[in-house]
Amino acid sequence: MLFLKSTTVTKAPGIYEVDIAAKPPGKTYGVFLATDPDHQPTDVLAALAALGFSNTYSSGYTHKDRGKVLDLHFQKDGTDLFKGWKTEECETNLAAIHSLFSGIGVTITPRVMTLAEAYA
């Protein structure tokens, strides 16, 4: 679940928060979205699917300010060991993710999760 300060402010229509993160050692990134379930960002979700990302987790909850939130996680298999991304795949996929989100005005900063986050 992404940390949200409020559900009254969105980064883009239907999107409260975006996190692009990888488990250590950090070559295979996932896309984590906190969305408004009543106003889903259908174009973004369709674009992620077109890029080969599959929805692996979906869970709704009510934020402390009473707004509804739907957490969505997306992963894309690579051709490296354990379906990870090779270096070239990482560069290509991160460029595609950056292009998608910059096109809707969302700045992303890919990061590597801490061990505690990755395996919680």
Check which CATH number belongs to the domain holding 89 and give it: 3.30.70
How many domains is the chain partitioned into structurally? 1
Query: Which pLDDT band, with edges at 50, 70 and 90, does 4 fall under?
Result: confident
pLDDT in tens, 83-110: 999 999 999 999 999 999 999 999 999 9
Q: Is residue 74 a part of any domain in this protein?
A: yes
User: Rounded to an integer, what is the distance from CA 5 to the centroid of its chain?
Assistant: 17
93 belongs to a structural domain: yes
Nearest-angstrom CA–CA distance, 30 and 42: 18
pLDDT tens by residue, 6-42: 899 899 999 999 999 998 888 999 999 999 999 999 9
Quick check: 1 pLDDT over 70?
Answer: no
Tell me whether residue 9 is in a domain: no
83 contact partners, CB below 8 Å, separation of at least 6: 28, 77
- pTM for the structure as a whole: 0.93
Q: Is residue 120 part of a domain?
A: no
Residue 80 lies in a domain: yes
The reply to whether 63 falls in a domain is yes
The domain of 53 spans 15-115
